[in-house]
Amino acid sequence: MSLIEKGLTYGRLAWDEASHRARTVEEDLKARREVDIAGMVNGLRARLGEQLQLEELPIDGDLRSHALQLGVAKVSTWAYRSRQVRKIVLSHVMVGPSLLPAVEGFALTVFPEYEWDVPCFLADLMALPWWVSVNAEVYGREWQTQKVLAPLRSTFLRLGSEPGPGWSAKLASGDGLHAKLRPRQVEEGFAALTQALSQYLQVFQDPPPGRSKADQEAVFGAFHEHGPRLRLRRPFGDPWAERYSRLLFE
């Protein structure tokens, strides 16, 4: 094969590769535009309402709905309690223009009443233009977290789940969902997250008595130091991010 023929062959291969990448980017952007985060939030609220007798908790107005000027970022939050759960917080976060936000997603935290010896449940799904992050895990002492999400471990691994962040490893079960997905996989990720929530809520069918206040304080300490407060304080300011983090995790 002559040098000219080799050059043409390599050129065609490079063109094919570039075309494939362009099509992939286009497909990902299309899938991202079709992601309905608001619908997911409403679905979670309905699911929680079906499985728990929810009572709405009062929260400050600027924590319930907080938007920056020109609509460049907005956070909407709901808080509840039930007979066995002292606090449930569900928050819808959007940063960037509403047509295609740079980041849009939700966070969910569930903290049991202190007299139950059961773990906390924390989950989030965040969609960026090129990929989607999804997490669902239980946190607490080892005897609280073991076996809670273990039945779903193979489901999570099929989605490419990896170990969670090192700073929360001592509190986590190690069986949770921590995955980065293509936008076209967002429905699979949301389904896995809701499966994890349903699996967790089963612990309240016959919760063991005990004390979990110190364990919940340890969870708050870890997530307040390393969690979304650090990312939200730049657009929303330190005082608001501090209060928002305490609402989510304290």
- pLDDT tens digits for 188-210? 999 999 999 999 999 999 999 98
- pLDDT (average), residues 103-125: 96
Residue % of the chain over a pLDDT of 90:
74
> CATH class for domain 36-249?
alpha beta
Which of 112, 95, 93 lies closest to 213, judged by CA? 112
- pLDDT (average), residues 170-184: 96
Q: How confident is the model at residue 22 (pLDDT cuts 50, 70, 90)?
A: very low
Residues 6+ apart with CB under 8 A from 7: none
Q: How confident is the model at residue 16 (pLDDT cuts 50, 70, 90)?
A: very low
- pLDDT (average), residues 34-55: 92
Residue % of the chain over a pLDDT of 70:
85
Q: Is the pLDDT of residue 3 over 80?
A: no
What integer pLDDT is reported at residue 10 of this predicted model? Answer: 61
Query: What is the residue extent of each domain of the chain?
Result: 1-34, 36-249
The answer to whether 42 and 90 have CB atoms below 8 angstroms apart is: no
Q: Is the pLDDT of residue 30 over 70?
A: no
The rounded distance, in Å, linking the Cα atoms of 238 and 230 is 9
215 against 9, higher pLDDT: 215
